């Protein structure tokens, strides 16, 4: 079998520092932002000339924390609760034959060596293999269908402890990022495995930018954000 070697054109600096709680598709969390740092020779202005006329781009990237030596023919996608399996090519699961993913993301700003992005679903440090402009007349298919994923994932109700909301608002100002919206958009999609029944006393957490967000499920179908604190792991 013929093999090929690919090199990244850049790496993503993302709000998502852990795989947990990353939206399962792009555009589900518009407040999720990051920067694609291009590497030589693609960090030169010539490589992105004309891209300022484009609102969205396709990113082809590597699931760098899910690469596997042995290919999977069937996977268990989150859409089916993690219990039912399907053929790998019928899903967008992270366990790909060559570890390649694709996302269409909003292009907020273009400057030599950097692309400022939002609506991302990419882990911090993700290697990007290629960038392609989104072309509405070709990329939109009005009568397309997918009976496996025919609608966005259902959302759960989210509420805040007063202190947690104040913490999030203060960190949002410090980071100059829409942190409150990011937390709400990501957690409302219920990042825990669908087959897991949360106990009210169990706390969940995730690192967004440099803050730890902690929440629990006081009852099924409802999330309460408990704390948004500066990460002290360093």
Bridge pairing between strands 222-230 and 157-160: parallel
Percent of the chain with pLDDT over 90: 76
Amino acid 66: pLDDT: 86
- Burial (0-12, 13-18, 19+ Cβ within 10 Å), 13: middle
Average pLDDT of the chain is 93
Amino acid 149: pLDDT: 83
Query: Could you tell me if residue 147 is inside a domain?
Result: no
Percent of the chain with pLDDT over 70: 96
pLDDT at 98 over 80: yes
pLDDT tens string 109-153: 999 999 999 999 999 999 999 999 999 999 999 999 998 888 888
Better pLDDT: 198 or 87: 87
Closest by Cα among 214, 6, 1, 195 to 83: 195
Structure tokens at 6: 């690919």
Structure tokens at 63: 């699931």
125 and 166 both lie in a single domain: no
Amino acid 144: pLDDT: 93
Query: Could you tell me if residue 3 is inside a domain?
Result: no
Give CA–CA dist 67/71, Å, rounded.
Answer: 9
Q: What share of the chain is helix, strand, coil (3-state, %, to 5)?
A: 15, 30, 50
Q: Please compute the mean of the pLDDT values over residues 10-22 and round it to a whole number.
A: 96
Better pLDDT: 67 or 140: 140
Structure tokens at 148: 């496996």
Low-confidence winner among 77-81, 92-96, 146-150, 201-205 (lowest mean pLDDT): 77-81
| Residue-level length of the chain | 234
Query: Could you tell me if residue 195 is inside a domain?
Result: yes
130 and 166 both lie in a single domain: no
**By residue range, what is the domain housing residue 68?**
10-139
Q: What is the CATH number of the domain that holds 60?
A: 2.40.30.70
Phi, psi for 99 (deg, rounded to 5): 70, 20
Query: Could you tell me if residue 117 is inside a domain?
Result: yes
pLDDT band at 234 (very low <50, low <70, confident <90, very high): low
Domain count of the chain?
2
Phi, psi for 114 (deg, rounded to 5): -145, 140
Phi, psi for 139 (deg, rounded to 5): -90, -20
Query: Could you tell me if residue 149 is inside a domain?
Result: no
Amino acid 133: pLDDT: 98
Q: What is the CATH number of the domain that holds 192?
A: 3.30.2310.20
Predicted structure pTM score: 0.92
């Amino acid at each position: 079998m013929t093999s090929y070697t690919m090199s990244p054109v850049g790496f993503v600096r993302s709000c998502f520092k852990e795989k947990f709680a990353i939206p399962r598709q792009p555009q589900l969390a518009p407040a999720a932002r990051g920067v694609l740092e291009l590497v030589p020779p693609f960090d030169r202005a010539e490589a992105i000339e004309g891209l300022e006329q484009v609102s969205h781009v396709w990113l082809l990237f590597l699931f760098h924390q899910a690469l596997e030596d042995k290919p999977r023919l069937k996977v268990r996608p989150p859409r089916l609760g993690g219990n039912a399996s399907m053929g790998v090519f019928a899903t967008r699961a992270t366990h790909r034959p060559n570890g390649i993913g694709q996302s269409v993301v909003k292009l907020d700003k273009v400057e030599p060596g950097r692309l400022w992005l939002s609506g991302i679903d990419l882990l911090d440090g993700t290697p990007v293999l290629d960038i392609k402009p989104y072309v509405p007349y070709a990329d939109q298919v009005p009568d397309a269908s997918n009976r496996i994923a025919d609608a966005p994932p259902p959302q759960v109700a989210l509420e805040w402890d007063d202190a947690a909301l104040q913490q999030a608002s203060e960190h949002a100002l410090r980071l100059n990022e829409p942190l409150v919206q990011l937390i709400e958009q990501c957690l409302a999609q219920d990042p825990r495995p669908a087959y897991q029944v949360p106990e009210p006393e169990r706390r969940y957490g995730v690192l967004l930018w440099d803050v730890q967000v902690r929440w629990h499920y006081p009852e099924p179908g409802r999330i309460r954000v408990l704390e948004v604190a500066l990460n002290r792991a360093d």
